[in-house]
Amino acid sequence: MRRTLAALLAALPLLSAACRFDQGHFTMLSDFPVQAVDLPEDEIDRLPYVEASDIVPFIVVLPIGERPSVERALQNALLGTNGDVLVDVTVEKEWFWIPFVYGWQGYHIRGKPVKVLHAPDRPRTRRSRLLQEHR
């Protein structure tokens, strides 16, 4: 019995699967309204890319915490940068699963952080509100 259990446990990693697939390419993604980009395009070309993910683990099939979202991956990518939005953005979905035991899934985002002119007359979303409260 113990041997069978041990064999099953040893076989679990062999059943694991992982993959990352494309969710699309975007010229710009923003979690608050934008009036205009604040940089000439040739300067944007020289900006470095940043990357970040929003990953949520799950046990059996139940996620631990909130579902992953593109919005949070975007906010994670912008943290620590001077940018407000991402331009030239690639979004990918990634997941890993040991069937019916454990896994994780989430969104991976890559883009260039850019400052923009804000539209003051529209409500801002979570990240902007958090940043305002922080300041």
Partner 1 sequence: MLVLGAMLAGCRTTEMQLSLVVPATVDLSRVSLDRIGEGVTVEGEDAASFVLLLPLNVLNMEDAIQDAIGGRDDVVLVDVVIERVFWWTVLYGEARLELRGVMVPLPGAPGVEGTP
Three-state DSSP at 128 gives: helix
Residue selected from 35, 49, 59, 130 as contacting partner 1 according to rule CB under 8 A = 35
* Count, residues near partner 1 per rule CB under 8 A: 33
Q: Of 6 and 119, which has the nearer Cβ to partner 1?
A: 119
Minimal distance, residue 2 CB to partner 1, in Å: 30
Task: Please report the sign of the dihedral spanned by the C-alpha atoms of residue 69, residue 70, residue 71, residue 77.
Answer: positive
Q: How far apart are CA 70 and CA 47, in angstroms?
A: 22
> How many CB atoms are located within 10 Å of the residue 13 CB?
9
Residue selected from 4, 7, 11, 21 as contacting partner 1 according to rule CB under 8 A = 21
Query: Should residue 34 be labelled a site residue for partner 1 when binding is judged by CB under 8 A?
Result: yes
Residue selected from 28, 55, 98, 101 as contacting partner 1 according to rule CB under 8 A = 28
Q: How far apart are CA 130 and CA 96, in angstroms?
A: 31
Q: How far apart are CA 73 and CA 69, in angstroms?
A: 7
Query: Should residue 119 be labelled a site residue for partner 1 when binding is judged by CB under 8 A?
Result: yes
Query: Should residue 101 be labelled a site residue for partner 1 when binding is judged by CB under 8 A?
Result: no
